[in-house]
Chain A
């Protein structure tokens, strides 16, 4: 059974589907008639895609609707608005801490990601290429660390953070997020490092390069796609993280976007929906833009971590 013809995952094809070999249906698609494809393929696909994207449409629409249209569903058609307003965004940017929150989120995400990537590059290289005694065991332990969820750790971590005097400071998040990111990115990078032919390293070793020089000058340049994948995926995970930020931060101006929106905007105001949705949209847009530029890297990060 092992010798079934399988092809290795070509990550670019997962999204682009550009290579002619990427889909099997091309050769056999003539077996299906157009009306049949309508019912079995396009209709269900359309329904699923509409359901998946509707919340974003609704979010965007609510954030530009004037207040009086927001709650009056009878006089105005709720699915569209003819006079969009940027009032909610204006309120967000100039009458709230939103710019601070955005900055905090960005700052924490970038620092935690950079720290994690440095630690993971070293760890992954050591596990894959130095092959010290017990490397496989350590690799397995790191994978297990990936399976420890934050919702088990946040209570003891809160006491640890308090003991170290980090409570209510961004440093608390910068130091705790790597526990989520390092296991993931180490596994991803191990996969990438394994694909680099070790003959290159042999040559460098013979020429007298040290391990450090090999890592910096040979392995890392070749692993750049992997590094980008790891970087943007870690960045997304940081941006998305909620429970640590909710537990470790207290003062309004120190919060990250997800926590701040849930806690600060949810007051009794019946017209809050506009600014709430504007905040949610503004908090998601940076990630969506990043995603639009690096679609393939996202997919390779997602599938790469699962593949092993």
Chain B
């Protein structure tokens, strides 16, 4: 737009030397404006990303420069049952947590969109789990899920549901349920508030018109709310899947991958192998193995979004 509006200043012939011309050249200016951001992103993002893939083909350890070993790390991982367990855990964790986050988040957004007293305060309170640092709330969950002094076990015992304490973080199934629950708890506010922002762009007159035509509440949702929300759902879920898949801090604070590796995700396993055990090469191979999964997740939601746009005939933006 600016191109049309601000025609490039015509050089005033003889008076202009090369320097003034350069000063008004938008490409030259643009380059200098981009330098700080690009410097950070190249030195601390693009370069490490490439370096990580390179490291995964070497046998680098902490304190020792590595040699190129081709795909040895990957072959090693291929036969490593703990690695495959972590892949399974990551997929399970991502799939269940994202699906439930979406369902509960959308439901909460629809509830918050209704008219009621103390609406502003409710909405602000809902977002608090998202504000508080994940590790600190994970510690609270660690205490809530304590094997001996868990408040949940205590309450259930007093209600007469169970006789013995539940060993929340010591039993493999329970540990998985607990970390997934904590992840959902952390992610629902983000999904709900962003979807709520999307809901508020839907004009009320659509619902009024549909209701006059005899639409039920479900039909209102299915044929008005859902289609109009699709673009924002695609973006929110891309982020949600991405951050769930690469989650590290929640697991590290609550279980550190235990019991018997039942909650090890790929990120925590790569930390354990690379930093604690010192095998940088192997750790890098595990984290590089996440990249194809991430690309697939991004592609799916991206093409979902494009298809939706195409269905709605939205090719003019």
> Is A14 in contact with B193, judged by CB distance below 8 angstroms?
yes
Neighbour of B5 across the interface among A10, A156, A198, A273, CB < 8 A: A198
- Total number of A-B contacts with CB less than 8 angstroms? 348
Interface flag for A231 (CB, 8 Å): no
Docked-complex contact A131 and B26, CB < 8 angstroms: yes
Chain B interface, >50% SS class? helix
Cα distance A13–B201 in the bound complex, in angstroms? 10
Asked whether A243 and B129 contact (CB < 8 A) given A153-B48, A205-B6, A306-B235, the answer is no
- A159 near B51 with CB under 8 A, answer yes
A308 to B267, alpha carbons, bound, how many Å? 29
- Given contacts A132-B29, A242-B252, are A151 and B287 in contact (CB under 8 A)? yes
CA of A236 to CA of B46, assembled, Å = 24
- The answer to whether B144 touches A179, judged by C-beta atoms less than 8 angstroms apart, is no
| Number of chain B residues whose Cβ lies closer than 8 Å to a Cβ of chain A | 118
Question: In the complex, are the beta carbons of B134 and A147 less than 8 A apart?
Answer: no
B57 within 8 A of A: no
Q: A178-B40, A186-B37 are in contact. Are A156 and B136 (CB under 8 A)?
A: no
Which A residues lie at the B interface, using CB under 8 A? 1-2, 4-11, 13-18, 21-29, 31, 41-42, 44-45, 48-49, 51-53, 55-56, 58-59, 62, 70-71, 73, 78-79, 115-116, 118-120, 122-123, 125-127, 129-133, 135, 138, 142, 145, 147-160, 175-176, 178-179, 182-183, 186, 198-199, 201-202, 205, 210-211, 236, 239-240, 242-243, 246-247, 257-259, 261-262, 273, 276-277, 280-281, 283-284, 287-288, 291-292, 295, 298-299, 302-303, 306-307
Which residues on B are within 8 Å of A, measured CB to CB?
1-3, 5-6, 23, 26-27, 29-31, 33-38, 40-41, 43-49, 51-52, 55, 60, 104, 107-108, 111-116, 119-120, 122-129, 131-137, 139-141, 143-144, 146, 148-149, 151, 154, 185, 188-190, 193-194, 196-198, 200-208, 211, 228, 232, 235-236, 238-239, 242-243, 245-249, 252-253, 267, 270-271, 274-275, 280, 283-284, 287-288, 290-291, 294, 298, 312-314, 316
